[in-house]
Every structure is written in structure tokens, then in C-alpha cells.
Structure 1
Amino acid sequence: MAAPSANGERVVIIGGGPGGYESALVAAQLGAQVTVVDSDGIGGSAVLTDCVPSKTLIATAELMIEVAGAAELGVNFRDQAGDAATSLSVDLARVNARVKQLAADQSGDIERRLAREGVTVVAGRGRLDGPHRVIATLPHGTEQTLPADAVLIATGAAPRTLPTAQPDGERILTWEQVYDLDETPEKLIVVGSGVTGAEFASAYLALGVDVTLVSSRDRVLPSEDAEAAAVLEEVSTRRGMKLLSKSRMESVTRDGDTVTVTLTDGRSVQGSHCILALGSVPKTADLGLEDAGVMVNDGGFIYVDRVSRTSARGVYAAGDCTGVLMLASVAAMQGRIAMWHFLGDTVRPLDLKKVSSNVFTAPEIATVGWSQQSIDDGEMQAETVMLRMSGNARAKMQGVHDGFVKLFCRPGTGIVVGGVVVGPRASELIHPVSIAVAESLTADQLAQAFTVYPSMSGSIAEAARRLHRV
């Protein structure tokens, strides 16, 4: 069936990140007149300062880990004199130059795609002037008025800081500022053990940095699968990371080349650099939301329903500014859903139980669907099976010792309702489980699909076979 035609409906999008540019592409495909007002660069923080840069840095870290384990596979390194090489090192300036270049290239690719699809990009800061008009303040201070039949707000979020922990961009850094480092930190303190903190701590540890992770909780990744977090903790401490759990940061100060993190119990930790991973705050101030009838919560996040509608008719919102689930993939889907809904195409409301996500640590942690915690709490009745990666033939060949595959399925029907993968490239391995969850496949259906032998994905099929009931 052909997609509906928008008949020239005017769509104005504030923000050019994944929620913004993906919604623009959908609206243009459906025949709308689309304008994106963007002040930070097309791609937003996901492309320019967050997802793309951090995962590029992590790609270098992954290579360091693989090379460090080469001896187990029988690979030795020699210097020019023929002597055994005794250490690995990284040129952080070159790494960061590559990171920033890849981010800029990706941003340029997206902007060219928008141009090809007929989307107008206005460089400026947008704000609502009622629900059906956007005022764009251009770089030289003039204003441009943009009438709209629908507006989508996708302004994203920024790193959270505290009055007692202010970044200086040199030694006290947010995760958006680390790519200006030219020299490898001698001793890095990461404050915050959520996804961002865990990823950077893991990456810099792999790059050979002395890393201390300060966590206010009793474990890293408190919102992730507990068994997966335990594997990451064990691997990270084995590789040399210092983990300070149940340690709440009071302040971060700098004296010359020394950074001091003071804890609320009076202890302190000193290092050469500190990364603040304290969460995010929405970029929703001064957007004219209240006057347009757009409601926000106490934290400034915009209320939206499952088709991305705000409380104002004709105004939608997507991405981190909604606080729904801070993933680029969710932002993009929220934006697409908004345009499908407004322009009359077939739309399925957002279902967070079908979202797959990944923590890019070493090892990676990928999840989809219902969690072990929800099952333990009785929110979902499910049977569980877990297989250690150490029993997988391909894992043995590649020297992989840590990680597991876990599947959850409904008793009786056998429908797969969730899963966890911990190991190298877990972000790729979760996909068959994600398909099973999205399409309500049974464990038997998942088990009966062919896998390559030997392969890591074979463990997913094997776990599914163990859930078979006669």
C-alpha cells in the first residue's frame, strides 16, 4: 500500500540530532515541507560529542584489549632489534583527531542526505511562538519566522554538573570535553557508575590509563542486569581498575596539575584528570514551551505520550529532552513515530519493552525486553536459562573467557520476552533476541533457526533449546 501524501503540510523541527533528522527524513518522504532549525550541528550530541565519538574511542580501546590478549593465541610482538615487545601504548592526540574527524564526516553525511531529500536546514536557535509557529534566531542576531502545521522539539540534553564540581575543559571534564585531550591522563578519576561512567572508565583502562571509578551505589551499572554488572566489575578490577562503591562525591577541585575528588565521608582521591558522568539535564529552557501549552516535569523534561505528542496540539517531542529512554535509537524512533502519526501513515506506539540497548564496556552488555529484576520482582512470569560464554567453541578459539547469554521466556507459551548478552560484540549478538522479542517468537522458533558453527550466536540458539518443554 502506498504511503499517504502530506499535501505540503509544513513541519518545523527544532534540533538536528537523531530525533530531529530522522523525523525530517520521514516527513520529507511523506511529502511534507520540512525545515530543521539547528544550533549545534546536524547529528546533534549523538554524532558530534556523544555516541559516535565515544564509540570511536572505544573501538581503539577494544583493539588494545585484543592485542593485549594476543599471546594466548600464539601471537608475539617483536621490536626492530628482534627483542620481545613488552608494552603497548596509545597516541591519544591521534586517536582524538580521528574521533573528531569521524564525527564531523558523519554530520556532513547526514546534512547532505537531508539536502537530497529536500529538507531545509536553518542554522539558528529555534523557539516556539505558540503551537504553530517557530522563531529562529540566526547567528547574526536576526530572526526568521517559520509557520508550522506541526512542530517537533528534539533539542536533546546536556551533561549534568554541580556547583561543587565544575568542569574546566582541561582536567575536570564532562564526557563531551574529553576529545580535546592531547596527552594520555596519568591517573583518571571517573565520577558516576552509570552507562556513561562505566564506558569511559572501561575505555581508558584499556588504553593503559590508571583508572578509579567512584560510584555512589553498591555496584556499577545499577540499572543493568546484576549478573552482567558483576562480570564487568570482576573483569575491570582484574585488569587494574580501582572501584570505590558506596562513595558519594562531595566536590571536585583542581590545584595545578592535580585534581582532588572529595567524598561525603571525608575521604579524598587524587588524580591528574576527572571525568564527570553525573547524568543529563534536558535542553528545554527558553523554548517558549509554557506559552505554547507544552507541559514539562520538575526536571524540565517534556511530557509525551507513546506517539510523541506533547500536551499542545500539533506539537511533538522526541529524544533526550523527553527523558523517556536516553538512547539515540529511541530518539530516532520517537521522531519517526511523531511524523507517521501526524502525517497519517501506519504507526505503532513506542514500546520500551522491545528496545534493545548496549553498554559499550569491555565486555559489552546488551539487553532487550523484560529484565531479570522485573522477573524477580514478579512483574513478569518467565523461565530463565543462562549459558556461560566460556563453554562456546568460538569463544574458546578467540580466547574469550568472560560473559554469558541469558534468555527469558513465558511459561506455557514459550514466547521469548527478554534476554541479556555479555561478551565481545554483544551489541551485534543481541539482534536475534531482539527480533524474537519484537515478533513474539517462541524459544523453540529461535532454537530451530540455523546458526553458523562455530559462532558466538550459537550460544543463543543453545540457550533457547534448553528452554524447550515437552
Structure 2
Amino acid sequence: MKAVKSGRKVCTVEQGALVGGACTHTATIPSKALRHAIQRLLDVQQDHPEMRAELARHTTLKDMMRVATTVVSKQVQLRTTFYERNRVELVTGRAKFRDAHTVEVTEPRGSVELLHADAFVIATGSRPYRPAGVDFRHPRIFDSDTILKLRESPLSMIIYGAGVIGCEYASMFRMLGVKVDLVNTRDRLLSFLDDEISDALSYHLREQGVLIRHQEEMVSVEPHDDSVVLQLKSGKRLKADVFLWANGRSGNSQDLGLEALGIAVDSRGCIQVNDGYQTSVPHIYAVGDVVGAPSLASASYDQGRFAATHIVEGRMEHKLVKDIPTGIYTSPEISSLGRTERELTQAGVPYEVGHAFFKSLARAQITGRTVGMLKLLFHRETREILGIHCFGDNASEIIHIGQAIMAQDWPGNGIDYFINTTFNYPTMAEAYRVAALNGLNRLF
């Protein structure tokens, strides 16, 4: 869209029958829609306990998946109109570079079309990493793409991999009453988060009934007709109805003809790019999950726009994605922006902490969503906001208030903004004022 609105002639090659990619069809949109449907079911059961048994008996996983399918269809329709309205040619097929300025597209019926361009943007995304020795064809073994095809809720589940995807699905299936073993290859959950937030997530998952097993490594997965058995290096053997592999993703860079052009790809299929999202061939760019971290839909959107800006104007805007919020859709949600306490301590930065616990906020008491907190980290001397960490209902929305202030130039990005600003009452936004006051009270 950035390129075509700048006057360039643009063609998009998409191998799927419908536009939208993994974000729309197999990852972000369907999983978050499913989570919302599960949460709504729980809310109704909580508000009407007399209907709990009947709702549980008559509402199936398939019913909730149908909600996700509806959202996906709406997103596909919306995105398709973007191409049509902006006169972007859309070619369905699989593209491969024939030379540095030509791709050959193999269309579904086998015909081949050659397309020539001055510049290319590779945005092929990623897929779940599948290790050798795990039979993903077995009906009881899933990855984060195929789990969305599950139609009946199992009684028990093993999730191997406790990254963002693993934690989100552990939370979702536990809300459905599934007995969940969450196997983590590391010593704590989501170690990139602030320690206090990571600890809160661990506590609440365990409180909900998820059994978390840290520092474990898989030896084998044994599928049976009625179960799956996971053998771990520690000697443990876990048994469940289904097994979900959620340990890593691979960039979709295979069979694109990159090797012949000298474009570097790492062991996980991620394409190496510079700050302008250029590969080693300057007019060929790569963006999104296929370049690796941060592997967020929000970041991928911006990266595509920045690559187009560099193509059209020769200007780099990568600095705009230096500080982007992380949204994790467990229950409760997590969102984080900026540096953590651990990072600030290691860097010798004199910081202070301000907390606002949701249980003390009138709006949270009204809605009944009292689990969670907002945490502000700020410089003791300059009062600049250094990090924002939120755990609780609507955390991924709440974070953006602080993000707007952090993005301001000094002195507009200080914690005093929240003291000197009037917030609607009662609101969750008021948490910023409470946290700011709490932190400033620690100064002396």
C-alpha cells in the first residue's frame, strides 16, 4: 500500500487461495478469536452458574472455532478490497527467483508466469518448526497451525514449548477445563519479560491448574491410538490425549531461489537483512517473520511500510520499531514496553518502580477483573519513563497510553505527566496516575 500510494506499479504474489497469510489464517486472528470465544463462555457460566452444566454440554470447541472462522472471513474480505481499491495486481501461485530481477510464478494449475521488477519485497512469513522424529501426521499430534483444526476438546494435553504460543494455548485450553502439562525447555516462563511479570504469569497459570515443568528436554514422542506419551531426558514420562508442539518457528525461505542470488539464510530459515530491510542484493528486501525477531504482526506491518519507504524515497525508518510493545494473550493478558528491572540493574541505571494493582482500582472492582497490575519503571533523577509492564485484563490496550508518553522527546516523556493529567474516573487508565504516585512516593 505504501508503494502504490507513492506512485509505483505493484504486483503481489500469494501462494494461498485467499490473502492474509499466516496472521489471518493460522496464527494471530484465529487464535485470539478463539480465546475471546472461550472467555465469553466462561463469563456467561460465571454470571449464570445455574446454566454452567448445560452450556458445557452443548458448547463444543467446534462451535467456538466457528467464531474464529467468521472473523477470518471478514479479515480476508477487508484485505482483498485493499488490493482491488488500490489497483494492486494479485497473482495466485508460488514464486521463485529466476534471476535478480525476475521471478517465475507457478500457478495452481501448473502454468508458469514470469514477472519482472525493479525491486522485490519478500514477506513469506514463517511456519511452526517441525523436528525430525515427531509424526505430525498422527491425529493426536499437533503444531500451532494444525491445533486450530481440533474439533473436540480433549481431557488432557501436553504442550512442549513454553514460549508465547505455548503459554497462550496452555491458558486457553485450561480455561476449557483441559488438564495441561506445559513443558518448558528453560528455567522460567518468557524470560524476556520483566521478572515480576513472568513470576505473575507462572503463579496464575499454576493457580488455574496448569502443571509447569521447567528445564526439560524431549527424547521422544510416542503416539498411540488412545494417547500420546512424551519421554523426557530427566526420565519423566508424560501421557495425555493430545500433544501440541510449540517450540519454535522457521522462516519460509525455502525454494525461493535465494541461494543462487547469494542471499544469506540462517539455520532456522530466517533471511539476513540490514537496517533498511535489504538483503545482500540491495534491491531485494525481506520483512516480517521471515527475517526473525520480533516476529510480531504489528512489527511486520511497519517493516513492510519501512521497506517500501526505502525503495521509494531511499530513507530508513527502522528506528521507529526500536521500542514496540509486546502483547501476549494469555489469561490475563500481558503487555510490555521498554526495559526490564533486570536490564536496568545490569546497566547500572538508577531507577525506581511504581505499581498500581488492579484490585485497588474502582473500574476493575466494577467489572470483576481485579487480577493484575501496571508497573512503571522510571529514572530517579530525570524521571524519564524507562519501561512499562502490564499484567491483567486488557493489558495490550492499556500499554498504549504509556507508549504515547514514552515516545515524546524530553521533557515530555517523564512520569510527572501522569500526575498532572486528569483521567476519567472510574477507568483502567487511572492505573497510570496511581502507579506514578506510588513510584514518586519512593523518592527521597
CA distances 1:5-36 after superposition (whole Å, capped 9, x unpaired): xxxxxxxxxxxxxxxxxxxx111111111101
CA distances 1:338-394 after superposition (whole Å, capped 9, x unpaired): 001110176522444420111100111100122233113217553322232222222
CA distances 1:275-328 after superposition (whole Å, capped 9, x unpaired): 110110111112111222322234331111222111111111100110131101
Which stretches in structure 1 are left out of the alignment for 5+ residues? Answer: 1-24
Match of 1:444 among 402, 406, 416: 416
Indicate if the aligned counterparts of 1:64 and 1:206 stay in contact, CA closer than 8 A.
no
| 1:456 alignment partner in structure 2 | 428
Matched, 1:274 2:243: yes
| 1:38 alignment partner in structure 2 | 14
CA distances 1:401-437 after superposition (whole Å, capped 9, x unpaired): 4211111223332222221010001011011111122
Identity across the alignment (%): 28
Q: Distance in 1 between matches of 2:318 and 2:148?
A: 37
- Aligned-pair distance for 1:86? 8.5
Worse-superposed segment, 358-367 or 373-382: 373-382
| 2:4 alignment partner in structure 1 | 28
Question: How many residue pairs end up in the alignment?
Answer: 437
Q: Distance in 1 between matches of 2:91 and 2:419?
A: 50
- Aligned-pair distance for 1:467? 4.1
| 1:10 alignment partner in structure 2 | none
Q: Which residues of 2 match residues 406-417 of structure 1 at below 5 A? A: 406-417=375-386
Q: Distance in 2 between matches of 1:171 and 1:215?
A: 20
Matched, 1:140 2:109: yes
| 1:158 alignment partner in structure 2 | 127
Worse-superposed segment, 96-105 or 330-339: 96-105
Look up the SS of the partner of 1:200 in the other structure.
helix
Worse-superposed segment, 320-329 or 405-414: 405-414
Indicate if the aligned counterparts of 2:355 and 2:439 stay in contact, CA closer than 8 A.
no
What amino acid does structure 2 have at the position aligned with 1:34? V
Which stretches in structure 2 are left out of the alignment for 5+ residues? Answer: none
Q: Distance in 2 between matches of 1:345 and 1:180?
A: 44
| 1:300 alignment partner in structure 2 | 269
Q: Distance in 1 between matches of 2:306 and 2:418?
A: 28
Matched, 1:243 2:219: no
| 2:339 alignment partner in structure 1 | 370
Q: Distance in 2 between matches of 1:350 and 1:250?
A: 42
What amino acid does structure 2 have at the position aligned with 1:49? T
| 1:207 alignment partner in structure 2 | 176
- Aligned-pair distance for 1:65? 4.0
CA distances 1:201-256 after superposition (whole Å, capped 9, x unpaired): 10011122121111122222222222112112211222222222222222222110
User: Structure 1 residues 166 and 435, CA, compared in 2 at 3 Å: closer, same or farther?
Assistant: farther
Q: Distance in 2 between matches of 1:104 and 1:260?
A: 36
Q: Distance in 2 between matches of 1:447 and 1:432?
A: 14
What amino acid does structure 1 have at the position aligned with 2:25? L
TM-score by length of 2: 0.93
Q: Distance in 1 between matches of 2:67 and 2:281?
A: 43
Q: Distance in 2 between matches of 1:378 and 1:352?
A: 22
| 2:86 alignment partner in structure 1 | 117
Indicate if the aligned counterparts of 2:354 and 2:437 stay in contact, CA closer than 8 A.
no
- Aligned-pair distance for 1:42? 1.2
Q: Distance in 2 between matches of 1:67 and 1:419?
A: 32
Worse-superposed segment, 227-236 or 144-153: 227-236
Look up the SS of the partner of 2:99 in the other structure.
coil
Q: Distance in 1 between matches of 2:278 and 2:421?
A: 39
Match of 1:384 among 334, 353, 369: 353
Q: Distance in 2 between matches of 1:430 and 1:242?
A: 29
Q: Distance in 2 between matches of 1:451 and 1:332?
A: 31
Asked which structure has the greater RCO (Cα within 8 Å, sep 6+), the reply is 1
Q: RMSD in angstroms over aligned alpha carbons?
A: 2.1
Worse-superposed segment, 314-323 or 432-441: 432-441
Q: Distance in 1 between matches of 2:24 and 2:342?
A: 32
Q: Distance in 1 between matches of 2:35 and 2:307?
A: 32
Q: Which residues of 2 match residues 313-328 of structure 1 at below 5 A? A: 313-328=282-297
| 2:72 alignment partner in structure 1 | 103
| 1:4 alignment partner in structure 2 | none
Indicate if the aligned counterparts of 1:99 and 1:179 stay in contact, CA closer than 8 A.
no
What amino acid does structure 1 have at the position aligned with 2:363? R
Q: Distance in 1 between matches of 2:138 and 2:148?
A: 10
Q: Distance in 1 between matches of 2:230 and 2:48?
A: 40
| 1:66 alignment partner in structure 2 | 43
| 1:21 alignment partner in structure 2 | none
Match of 1:233 among 199, 202, 226: 202
| 2:28 alignment partner in structure 1 | 51
Matched, 1:174 2:143: yes
Q: Distance in 1 between matches of 2:53 and 2:146?
A: 33
Indicate if the aligned counterparts of 1:164 and 1:250 stay in contact, CA closer than 8 A.
no
Look up the SS of the partner of 2:134 in the other structure.
coil
